[in-house]
């Protein structure tokens, strides 16, 4: 079985990179994910320690390879009062066999957070360098932080068996007037192991890190890990 077909069964768009037209054969997909993580870092800002999360999304395949994804998520810190509820809408369209463009809109409602609640609007591109290599670029404006956030990242996937694969994503982010900060923000990386218990159920242990590059006070680099349980309906 090809790597793209394995990814179509196991991967969920809200926790892994966008890999072109992996959902082309499914006109409507509904996916749910729950899990636990040792820490929650958002765009280089360390917001919570050990947390539980749940995510639910639906994807509709439109004409000419376009697709629309709507998702909601809830994350709550286990031993403290931080929580975040978000809703997400994303549209993507192919401009060629290898290049996709898209826009996204997200609203995040946070409690007891160092970053305020607010609306985020972004544009992005994904380019298939190779069937196993993807390059993504994002730029968004965050009304809560009143600034711009941009990132460029490379994702590599490797098939380990007929039921599993590894994905490693690494990227660099920059910010402009974001939480009153400017310049290079962080270098981040994440390694995930996707294992399919069946065609519709999978588990994903992961390990990630955010290395801050701005050397500002009251900010620190972080390392986190977790385990996700995914179901496709």
Q: Read off the pLDDT band of 146 (50, 70, 90).
A: very high
Instruction: Please name which of 197, 210, 200, 198 lies closest in space to residue 169, comparing C-alpha atoms.
Output: 210
pLDDT greater than 50 at residue 12 = no
pLDDT at 217 (0 to 100): 65
Name the residue range of residue 23's domain.
3-232
pLDDT at 220 (0 to 100): 86
Structure tokens belonging to residue 219: 């900010």
CB burial of 192-226 (b: ≥16 within 10 Å; e: otherwise) equals bebebeeeeebbbebebbbebbeeeeebeebebeb
DSSP 9: H
pLDDT at 11 (0 to 100): 45
Q: Give the Cα separation of 165 and 127 in Å (integer).
A: 20
Sequence-distant (≥ 6) Cβ neighbours of residue 145 within 8 angstroms: 115, 116, 118, 178, 179
Instruction: Please name which of 163, 110, 152 lies closest in space to residue 127, comparing C-alpha atoms.
Output: 152
Q: How do residues 175-184 score in pLDDT, each as one tens digit?
A: 999 988 999 9
Residue range 46-61: mean pLDDT, rounded:
94
Residue range 60-73: mean pLDDT, rounded:
93
Task: Compute CA 125 distance to the chain's CA centroid, rounded to the nearest angstrom.
Answer: 14
Contact 9, 165 (CB under 8 A): no
**CATH number of 217's domain:** 2.40.160.40
pTM listed for this prediction: 0.85
pLDDT greater than 50 at residue 138 = yes
pLDDT at 29 (0 to 100): 76
Domain count, the chain: 1
Q: Read off the pLDDT band of 186 (50, 70, 90).
A: very high
């Amino acid at each position: 079985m090809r790597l793209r077909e394995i990814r179509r069964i196991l991967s969920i768009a809200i926790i892994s990179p966008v890999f072109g037209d992996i959902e082309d054969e499914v006109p409507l997909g509904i996916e749910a994910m729950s899990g636990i993580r040792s820490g929650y870092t958002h765009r280089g800002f360390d917001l919570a320690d050990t947390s539980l999360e749940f995510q639910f999304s639906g994807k509709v395949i439109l004409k000419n390879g376009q697709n629309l994804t709507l998702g909601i998520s809830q994350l709550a810190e286990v031993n403290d009062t931080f929580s975040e509820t978000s809703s997400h809408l994303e549209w993507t369209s192919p401009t060629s066999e290898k290049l996709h463009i898209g826009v996204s809109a997200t609203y995040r409602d946070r409690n007891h957070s160092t970053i305020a609640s607010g609306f985020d609007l972004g544009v992005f591109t994904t380019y298939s360098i190779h069937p196993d290599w993807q390059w993504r670029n994002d730029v968004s404006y965050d009304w809560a932080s009143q600034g711009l956030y941009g990132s460029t990242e490379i994702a590599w996937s490797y098939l380990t068996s007929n039921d599993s694969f590894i994905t490693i994503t690494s990227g660099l982010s920059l910010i402009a007037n974001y939480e009153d900060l400017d310049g290079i923000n962080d270098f981040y990386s994440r390694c995930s192991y996707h294992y399919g218990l069946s065609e519709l159920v999978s588990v994903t242990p992961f390990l990630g890190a955010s290395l801050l590059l701005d050397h500002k006070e009251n900010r620190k680099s972080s390392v986190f890990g977790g385990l996700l349980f995914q179901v496709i309906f």
